[in-house]
Structure 1
Amino acid sequence: MRRGEEPSLDAFARAVLGLIAEPGDGVLGRAISAAGAPAVAERLLARAPAEALVDAVVEAGGDLDEREASSARDRWLPRLDHRGFVTSLAQAARVGARLLVPGDACWPSGVDELGAHAPLALWVRGRVEALAGTQPTIALVGARAATGYGEHVTMEASAGLVDRGFAIVSGGAYGIDGMAHRAALASDGTTVAFLAGGVDRYYPLGHESLLARIAESGAVVAELPCGAAPTKWRFLQRNRLIAAAGEATVVLEAGMRSGSLNTAGHAAALGRPLGAVPGPVTSPASAGCHRLLREFDAVCVVDADQMAELVTAGGRPRWSGELGIDVDGEAGSGDRGMTASFPDDRADPRLIRVLDALSSRTPRPLADVARRAGLAVTEVMSVLGSLEAEGVAVRDARGWRRRRAG
């Protein structure tokens, strides 16, 4: 959708639905795939009963039972906010963001492989043509706490890949991501940054100038509407877009708990080639890469030539196991989206979403926590009970808050 154009009914519906659901909501994705975004949005805006949504999906040949439709409705309707929607659109117009929807000429076709967990739409600042697939793409990811070794390897790899005609995809974060973007820009290449919040607020703040430079020649992209804040859950869901937008993913430096392993898990689930750069065996900063190489048969790559071969040679990851990934799981009557977990992560992604919704300073009522988490009140009650038993969350007469460390 170009600035000044009248939005199509489908684009308008997807913009509305993007405001009420968390990224990667598979129930909403299935409903839209069957009945279409306008039909789903119409029923939710009318606050129609769950049966009406089920009927629309089933009549269109889809599959949705009343239980999951009712639970989904309970978590979506509290987020219907006309004023918030108008404010979000005004913010998008202020920063010159464009809305891409499936079927648009520049829509990145790779994200469609996410199936029911594909983004409903993408908000873009910069050149939407950077997403059009006219160049081969490769995702370069790694730890925020990068070492000099990791940054040097990333700089050489990104510049070398640009010289070979690749566009660089990453997440705009500190460390490896930032170096991948900078090296691509320094080589006059195209680079795309996927954010975990709205594109109206560049995050992290320390990369505001970098992200502005990316938007000048490439694109800054988010599936969340303008005004949406980044959270841990949204960072994890953002990673699936990085993996899907790249024809291959390379982890350049990562510790055992690095979020880039989450991106690697998504790449594996999508059947995309996955490479990892080895580091010093004594360096904890490379332990995650070594795990990928040892336990999950990632391809060992050490320079731009070998990384390019992941795409040009049509390579595919060789393992048949999992990287702690749950692609099709349902999260408590709702949907987990695609999640890649680590050994020390909580198994239930609802815990992450509820923790994201709690403040450590101001108690929040149960209904507000549910709205912020994008979950039904009954689900949030169950999670809060567990968190209270663990001493992580506390409640008083005013509501729930997160216990401060120490």
Structure 2
Amino acid sequence: MTTPEPEREARALLTRVIEPGDETGGRWIRRFGPCEVAERLSRRAHPLPGVTGTRWEGLCRRAVHANPRQDLAAAHRAGARLVCPGDSEWPAQLDDLGDTRPLALWVRGSPFLRLWALKSVALVGARACTEYGAHLAAGLASGLTERGWVVVSGGAYGIDGAAHRGALAARGATAAVLAGGVDQAYPRGHAELLSRIAEQGLLLSELPPGDHPTASRFILRNRVIAALTRGTVVVEAAHRSGALATARSAQRLGRATIGVPGPVTSALSAGVHELLRGEATLVTDAAEIIELVGGIGELAPERRGPVVPRDLLAPQTARVLAALPGRGTATVEHIAHGAATTNDEATTRLYELRSLGFAERTADGWQLTGPTRTGHLAPTLPGSETVTSGTGIADPAG
């Protein structure tokens, strides 16, 4: 399905006239259609409802100077295309934004946007990030792309750049949603990175070729990142970070909101921790992210500490082991009393412990074996994953 050319040209014109996220403009298009709105702006007709005369005049002035065919040609030269609502490539989840959805998206790169968006995760955070944050972002992005997910971010310095680089390093899929034209390298220091993304992934923008970012456009593009993806992961963010705007948009849209914890003393993690005190979910690796945004059955592996030999003992045997003194020997009667069992049961368990190397019999009674008693490695039991020192005292924490 393809948008008719008159509507495509009208939407191309409107991306240069109406600012991203303008709810009034979105209502006009829903009510009157893009072609009529573009025509009325271009011929400076009577104002559409919802704006002052001054505001209407400013929009008309923009429309008079807009040249959609020139923009479409410039996009073609840059290897980009205009994807409109109604096109087969349009990601339907963007419609969740209602009247603030993009009028269209300028897309640079060969992958099919709609398919990529179906299995994508936003990975965002602070520009002035720490080494810890950059390391985590790159690792998470690499892990996600290795599992077949697309990493979406904003192409900025800091966490965004680390996320894109992590995905590219794993030869995975990544997309950058920009606050300026897809033919413009911004920030300048990311010119090479953005070029690599365009070759291996996708660059997206609501703004036409040659347009430049502004402070408000950075904030407004965050709603696109949130709507396009299955969930938003915030790695590092201060209390006033723009990454938090992406997370809040994700929450409003019913998408998963996810946070990676940092040091509690770090101001750059304060915003993430505030999210985690609310509705966000804490994660530590890519598998845990996929468990939240993936399909049924895509579960992260169970987390548990190492299995020590004592964990594999039967409960009554473990109680007898715990009753053995840390130093010296004890009689069967003393051990049975400590283990709350009979002398016969204690004797049976003691011989079991001797066969496993935990205890030994002496002329004076029973004692822990030398390695267990002195804090060296305890015996290794079949099926144990690791070994540890024993003290004769049962420690539930291992």
The alignment's TM-score, normalised by the length of structure 2, stands at 0.70
Q: How does 1:167-178 map to 2 (within 5 A)?
A: 167-178=150-161
Residues 1:141 and 2:88 aligned together = no
**After TM superposition, where is structure 1 displaced by more than 4 Å over at least 4 residues in a row?**
69-72, 83-87
Residue 247 of structure 2 corresponds to which residue in structure 1? 264
Residues 325-345 of structure 1: CA distance to partner in whole angstroms, max 9, x if unpaired?
Answer: xxxxxxxxxxxxxxxxxxxxx
Say which SS state the counterpart of residue 145 (structure 1) adopts.
coil
| Residues 131, 219 of structure 1: alpha-carbon distance in 2 compared, 3 angstrom cutoff | farther
| Residues 131, 216 of structure 1: alpha-carbon distance in 2 compared, 3 angstrom cutoff | farther
Question: In the TM superposition, what is the alpha-carbon distance from 1:85 to its structure 2 partner?
Answer: 4.7
| Residues 12, 123 of structure 1: alpha-carbon distance in 2 compared, 3 angstrom cutoff | same
Counterpart-to-counterpart distance in 2, 1:42 and 1:233: 27
Counterpart-to-counterpart distance in 2, 1:279 and 1:67: 45
Residue 23 of structure 1 corresponds to which residue in structure 2? 20
Say which SS state the counterpart of residue 253 (structure 1) adopts.
coil
Residue 11 of structure 1 corresponds to which residue in structure 2? 8
One of 263, 275, 298 as aligned partner of 2:280: 298
Bigger Rg over Cα: 2
Counterpart-to-counterpart distance in 1, 2:34 and 2:107: 20
Question: In the TM superposition, what is the alpha-carbon distance from 1:75 to its structure 2 partner?
Answer: 3.5
Higher relative contact order (CA 8 A, sep 6+): 1
Residues 1-50 of structure 1: CA distance to partner in whole angstroms, max 9, x if unpaired?
Answer: 99xxx971111110111111111111111111122111211222221112
Residues 1:180 and 2:159 aligned together = no
Residues 1:279 and 2:262 aligned together = yes
Residue 43 of structure 2 corresponds to which residue in structure 1? 46
Q: How does 1:344-359 map to 2 (within 5 A)?
A: none
Residue 133 of structure 2 corresponds to which residue in structure 1? 150
Say which SS state the counterpart of residue 106 (structure 2) adopts.
strand
Paired AA for residue 303 in structure 1:
D
Gaps of 5+ in 2: 297-398
Of residues 145-154 and 74-83 in structure 1, the stretch that sits farther from structure 2 once superposed is: 74-83
Paired AA for residue 15 in structure 1:
A
Q: Give the aligned length.
A: 296
| Residues 28, 134 of structure 1: alpha-carbon distance in 2 compared, 3 angstrom cutoff | closer
Residues 1:74 and 2:71 aligned together = no
Counterpart-to-counterpart distance in 1, 2:295 and 2:148: 15
Gaps of 5+ in 1: 54-65, 315-406
Residues 299-324 of structure 1: CA distance to partner in whole angstroms, max 9, x if unpaired?
Answer: 1111111111121268xxxxxxxxxx
| Residues 118, 254 of structure 1: alpha-carbon distance in 2 compared, 3 angstrom cutoff | same
Residue 149 of structure 2 corresponds to which residue in structure 1? 166
Identity %: 50
| Residues 135, 270 of structure 1: alpha-carbon distance in 2 compared, 3 angstrom cutoff | closer
Contact 1:106 1:128 in 2 (8 A): no
Contact 1:256 1:287 in 2 (8 A): yes
Residue 394 of structure 2 corresponds to which residue in structure 1? none
Paired AA for residue 281 in structure 2:
V
The alignment's TM-score, normalised by the length of structure 1, stands at 0.69
Residue 215 of structure 1 corresponds to which residue in structure 2? 198
One of 171, 174, 195 as aligned partner of 1:191: 174
Contact 2:123 2:152 in 1 (8 A): yes
Counterpart-to-counterpart distance in 2, 1:31 and 1:72: 14
Contact 1:130 1:190 in 2 (8 A): no
Counterpart-to-counterpart distance in 2, 1:84 and 1:40: 15
Contact 2:155 2:176 in 1 (8 A): yes
Counterpart-to-counterpart distance in 2, 1:170 and 1:109: 19
